[in-house]
């Protein structure tokens, strides 16, 4: 029997809530809207639309995946991030809204550099979907970017996303562990590296530990392996007047600041996430 959109939504909410999902109503709305290619407004205005058997079957399959704790946007295959549309793959971390704070933090430094130089080069270490680099490219036409990742699958996804967002001509990729295969210097270096302490990963929410790649999560025994690698190698790749922007774990501000201070960099700004936790650090070279 065919049902109205509002009835299907109510059923989805109930099924997800029964499965113990904390935000069942939002998950139901996003899933159904995405599967039926409806905007949030259309979802409300067309509540009496009849959902046919084929669409109902697709919704049922998606519900089963969400009940198994697969994240909503992985089921849909894409998500929006700071004005860009990003496809996802098993090799990529799903970008979080808090990472948009890193994009915001680097807009002013990038524009200041471009005002002086006319253009700027950006390096995104551990680019994944390309989220940070592509969002900045979309905002700043004079910017060129290189995305680095150890995963060839992640780089394929990043290139696909560059095409999708019409910035492919200004975006290139390098398969490398941090700086190992890089050449040249950059005006801005950004990274949202793996920063979760290894023995905590097993305790993460199932949405994260089952579906985000371990390569993008595991920060080593103390969560700082990536920051050590970046701080230890960055000097040969950052321009003298360059900027560094890093996402960090909520309890890592002091330790990451100390690592970069020892490497010759000073903390120029720090930003909190939407929950009030330390999340983004910005560095420049110390004055001689």
Query: Which tens digits make up the pLDDT trace of 4-59?
Result: 999 999 999 999 999 999 999 999 999 999 999 998 888 888 888 899 999 999 99
Cα–Cα nearest to 128, from 106, 99, 107? 99
Q: Report helix angle 253-262 to 225-233, nearest 10.
A: 20
Which residues does residue 243 pair with via DSSP β-bridges, in sequence order?
Answer: 188, 284
165 and 59 housed in the same domain: no
Q: How confident is the model at residue 2 (pLDDT cuts 50, 70, 90)?
A: confident
Note whether 11 and 124 are same-domain residues: no
Q: Are residues 60 and 83 in the same domain?
A: no
Q: Could you tell me if 12 and 59 are in contact, meaning their C-beta atoms sit under 8 angstroms apart?
A: yes
Instruction: Please tell me the distance from the alpha carbon of residue 283 to that of residue 264, in angstroms, as a whole number.
Output: 10
CATH number, domain at 94?
3.40.50.150
Task: Give the residue from 68, 90, 125 where a domain finishes.
Answer: 68
Least confident of 50-59, 79-88, 137-146: 50-59
Q: How confident is the model at residue 128 (pLDDT cuts 50, 70, 90)?
A: very high
Mean residue pLDDT across the chain: 96
* Of 46-55, 107-116, 205-214, 243-252, minimum mean pLDDT range: 46-55
Burial (CB count <10 Å: 0-12, 13-18, 19+), residue 55: middle
Domain that holds residue 273: 79-285
User: Could you tell me which of 122, 232, 221, 227 has the C-alpha nearest to residue 167?
Assistant: 122
Give the torsion sign (CA, 218, 220, 223, 225). negative
Is residue 154 predicted with pLDDT exceeding 80? Answer: yes
pLDDT of amino acid 288:
63
pLDDT at 186 over 90: yes
Binding-site residue numbers for substrate are 192-195
Binning pLDDT at 50, 70 and 90, where does residue 287 land?
A: confident
Residue 16 CA to residue 71 CA, distance in Å, equals 12
Enclosing H/E stretch for 244: strand 238-247
Q: What is the mean pLDDT of residues 102-109?
A: 98
Considering the domain boundaries, does residue 74 fall inside one? no
Q: Where are the alpha helices (DSSP H) in 71-151?
A: 72-76, 100-117, 131-139
Binding residues: 126-130, 149, 178, 192-195
Instruction: Tell me whether strands 238-247 and 265-272 are parallel, antiparallel or unpaired.
Output: unpaired
Residue ranges of the annotated binding site for S-adenosyl-L-methionine are: 126-130, 149, 178, 192
Of the candidates 122, 140, 138, which has an alpha carbon nearest to the alpha carbon of residue 191?
122
CA distance 177 to 41: 44
Whether residue 123 sits in one domain with residue 260: yes
Considering the domain architecture, whether residues 186 and 223 belong to the same structural domain is answered as: yes
Given pLDDT bands bounded at 50, 70 and 90, which one contains residue 277? very high
Residue 1 pLDDT greater than 70, yes or no: no
Considering the domain architecture, whether residues 236 and 277 belong to the same structural domain is answered as: yes
Q: What is the pLDDT of residue 43?
A: 87
β-pair partners for 230:
none
Query: Residue 178 in contact with residue 125, Cβ under 8 Å?
Result: yes
By mean pLDDT, which of 132-136, 270-274, 284-288 is the weakest?
284-288
């Amino acid at each position: 029997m065919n049902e109205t959109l509002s009835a299907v939504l109510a059923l989805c909410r109930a099924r997800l809530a029964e499965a113990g999902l904390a935000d069942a109503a939002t998950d139901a709305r996003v899933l159904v809207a995405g599967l039926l290619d409806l905007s949030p407004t259309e979802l409300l205005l067309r509540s009496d639309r009849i959902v046919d058997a084929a669409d109902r079957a697709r919704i049922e399959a998606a519900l089963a995946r969400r009940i198994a704790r697969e994240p909503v946007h992985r089921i849909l295959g894409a998500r929006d991030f700071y004005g860009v549309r990003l496809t996802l793959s098993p090799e990529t971390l799903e970008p979080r809204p808090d990472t948009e704070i890193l994009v915001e933090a680097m807009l002013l430094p990038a524009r200041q550099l471009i005002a002086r130089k006319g253009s700027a080069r950006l390096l995104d270490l551990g680019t994944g979907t390309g989220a940070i680099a592509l969002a900045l490219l979309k905002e700043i036409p004079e910017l060129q970017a290189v995305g680095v990742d150890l995963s060839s699958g992640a780089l394929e996804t990043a290139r696909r996303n560059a095409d999708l967002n019409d910035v492919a001509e200004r975006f290139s990729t390098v398969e490398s562990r941090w700086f190992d295969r890089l050449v040249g210097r950059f005006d801005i270096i950004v990274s949202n590296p793996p920063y979760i302490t290894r023995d905590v990963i097993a305790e993460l929410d199932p949405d994260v530990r089952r579906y985000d790649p371990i390569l993008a999560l595991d920060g080593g025994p103390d969560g700082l392996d990536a920051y050590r690698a970046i701080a230890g190698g960055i000097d040969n790749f950052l321009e003298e007047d360059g900027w560094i922007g890093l996402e960090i774990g909520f309890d890592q501000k002091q330790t990451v600041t100390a690592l970069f201070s020892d490497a010759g960099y000073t903390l120029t700004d720090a930003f909190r996430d939407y929950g009030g936790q330390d999340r983004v650090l910005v560095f420049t070279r110390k004055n001689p």
